[in-house]
Amino acid sequence: MSDDQSYWQQERTHTLMQTIDVILDQHINGLSLYDLIKTLSSEDIAFFDGRPLAEPQGLFQTNFVVMNALYQLAKSSFDYHYEIHSLKICKHPKDSTKKETSTELSELDPLGAYYLDWNNFNQSEQEINELINQFWERMLVIDFEDQDLQTLDLSKPVTLAEIKQQYRKLSQQHHPDKGGDAEYFVEIQQAYTRLTDR
């Protein structure tokens, strides 16, 4: 176990969790992970002093520590449900009329299991860059999905069978050999390929 891990695991995690909980109480509509980190950076928390957020490793470790604290809060809270997403983090009182299950967080949320495992804290620069690249690849796929559905004149929710049926219809209608627009025909093919390769 590294010194960073020992320090956070044994002495500071609880303080960080309490600070995050107070911040979430002050932001009842939630806040983004970025805003939470920015707010924590203005608090008197040693880990955030001078941490180079512009560098991949500093950003990754800061993100990891905050997410670890959030998932520990979620796992240990009996009274609140924590929504943990990069664009919105908030907490809500649990509904006392609903029966809460005691299923382990790691069984329900692979991301939570990742951040609760301190072995993931000390990723190499290469591993961090790979994670960043995977993130952006997923974001590009999401960005193209709406555009591709629009190209095929479809909207969510849509099934694979509907995508195939619409592709055949538009291919017949816009095929260059049948007087259709060659450029639009290529767009249809590309959209179909991206949607079905997922």
Q: Where are the domains of the chain?
A: 3-122, 130-196
Query: Cα separation of 74 and 83, whole Å?
Result: 8
Query: 84 forms bridges with which residues in the sheet?
Result: 89
Tell me the pLDDT tens digit for each residue of 124-153: 889 988 988 887 777 666 667 888 999 999
Tell me the pLDDT tens digit for each residue of 43-95: 766 666 666 667 888 888 888 999 999 999 999 988 999 999 888 999 999 87
Q: Which of 157, 158, 156, 186 is nearest to 170 (CA)?
A: 186
Confidence tier at 104 by pLDDT (50, 70, 90): very low
Parallel, antiparallel or unpaired: strands 89-93 and 80-84: antiparallel
Question: What are residue 92's phi and psi, to 5 degrees?
Answer: -135, 145
Position 171, amino acid: S
What is the CATH code for 130-196?
Answer: 1.10.287.110
Q: Which of 87, 198, 88, 67 is nearest to 140 (CA)?
A: 198
160 CB neighbour count, 10 Å cutoff: 10
The model's pTM is: 0.63
3-class state of residue 185 by DSSP: helix
Helix (H) or strand (E) holding 139: helix 125-151
Q: Rounded to 10 degrees, what is the CA torsion of 38, 26, 77, 10? A: 40
